[in-house]
Structure 1
Amino acid sequence: MAITRTIFWRRLDTDGLERLLVTEDDHGIFVKGTILTTENGGCRLDHDWRLDSNWATLRAAVSREGADGQKTLRLDRAGASWTVNGQTRPDLDGASDVDLSLTPFCNTLALRRLMGTGGDRIMLDIAYIDGATLSVARSRQAYDRINNRCFRYRDLGLAMGFEALIDVDDRGFVTRYEGLFERRG
């Protein structure tokens, strides 16, 4: 039996809204999101994910439509390796997951890992997708547990020095991302 959740987030730093559908069934976890934002001249960004039962990304597809036209991107996991638009990317080998800017959804992937371990800290190498350009680069992130519903995010890579507190619900979905997002439904 499939279970579907609908989540809305509002941007706090600019005008923007996201609608996310998360469906869990016997075949895995499927996520579809649509973001509308005025950031970087404004755009609509659609993202579509296939996750395994442990919430690890198997495939992420992104399309962006903005003033600079339309772009698409697809990442696929093959064991510890990744392909981007069908091309092998050795620089991403071993990256534990994908992080798409413009959405707090990707924090759920890392936070569910940390919540499942009972530990106080997790550091991850990730395949980071810049939502403005749809470029992909390896980066590093850390999450520190403040309590069971609050975590500190620290960027140790592309945006080194950036930190924010993230509050989550019992499923690991962001309810508030300091200065950037808040859940609306």
Structure 2
Amino acid sequence: MEIKRISWNGMETFNTHENLIMEILAERNAVVHSTVNGTINQMKVIVNYEVHINEKWQVNAVSINGHLDDEFISWHYLFASNRWLTDDGGKEFPLGYYDIDISVSPFTNTLAINRLMLKVGEKKTINVLYFDVLEQRVYIASQCYTRLDQQLYRFENTEGDFMAEITIDEDGFVINYPKLFKRL
């Protein structure tokens, strides 16, 4: 088993620190454990998440637990039978695979970047299961990735109200996400 450890600090309104541990298992499957701790927009945030991914960087399961000030949050999703399912039989999403995006972490950009394997100049729009931690809701969002060069991607939400150029390392992990996250 191989272990990869990464840490990021939040920037500007994200006064956070994240420690991530990725356990690479047999056949290149992996389990990621991470903790995000700090304040965002003056709200105390503690978020623990676990993501199970396969060798193609597709997410098979995601579990998120934490506190926003004194409110507890908890989501558990499993991808099975071509759909995302909750462990409590709650909200259902349309059939099909969706990447995930956890609003308080740059790691989920790594998932999409490594799964898409874009060539320089190539652009791809994807749907994601978006975990908006601060608003405490989960919904489907459309996002676009464009590979600008070997280590630079443009990330946009398709509603047009957000765009960032993200620098990655040779393994696709975020190094710099302007105004939000910086790798230590």
Q: TM-score with structure 1 length normalisation?
A: 0.90
1:31 aligns with 2:35: no
Show the counterpart of 1:118. 119
Map Cα deviations across residues 78-105 of structure 1 (whole Å, 9 max, x no partner): 1420113332644343242111100000
Amino acid in structure 2 at the alignment position of 1:10? N
Whichever residue aligns with residue 129 of structure 1, its letter is F
Contact 1:61–1:74, Cα closer than 8 Å, also in 2: yes
Question: What does residue 183 of structure 2 align with?
Answer: 183
Please name the residue that 1:65 is paired with: 67
Unaligned runs of at least 5 residues, structure 1? none
Match in the other structure for 1:107: 109
1:132: how far off? 1.7
Give the conservation status (yes or no) of the 8 Å contact 1:100–1:131: yes
**Number of corresponding residues:** 180
TM value normalised by structure 2: 0.91
Could you say which residue in structure 2 is the equivalent of 1:21?
A: 21
Aligned partners of 1:82 and 1:88 also within 8 Å: no
CA displacement at 1:55 relative to structure 2: 1.1
Please, which runs of 5 or more residues in structure 2 have no aligned partner?
Answer: none
Identity %: 24
For residues 1-185 of structure 1, what are the structure 2 equivalents within 5 Å?
2-14=1-13, 15-26=15-26, 28-40=29-41, 41-87=43-89, 89-114=91-116, 116-118=117-119, 120-157=122-159, 160-184=160-184
Shift of 1:107: 0.2
> How far did 1:11 drift?
0.6
User: Structure 1: how far apart are the matches of 2:181 and 2:26?
Assistant: 31
Q: Tell me the alpha carbon deviations over residues 73-132 of structure 1, each in whole angstroms, 9 at most, x when there is no partner.
A: 111101420113332644343242111100000000111123x24361111011000112
1:140 and 1:156 in contact (8 A); partners too = yes
Q: Distance in 2 between matches of 1:92 and 1:176?
A: 33
Greater Cα offset, 125-134 or 77-86 = 77-86
- Give the match's secondary structure for 1:125: strand
Distance 1:87 1:136 in 2: 14
Alignment RMSD, CA only?
Answer: 1.7
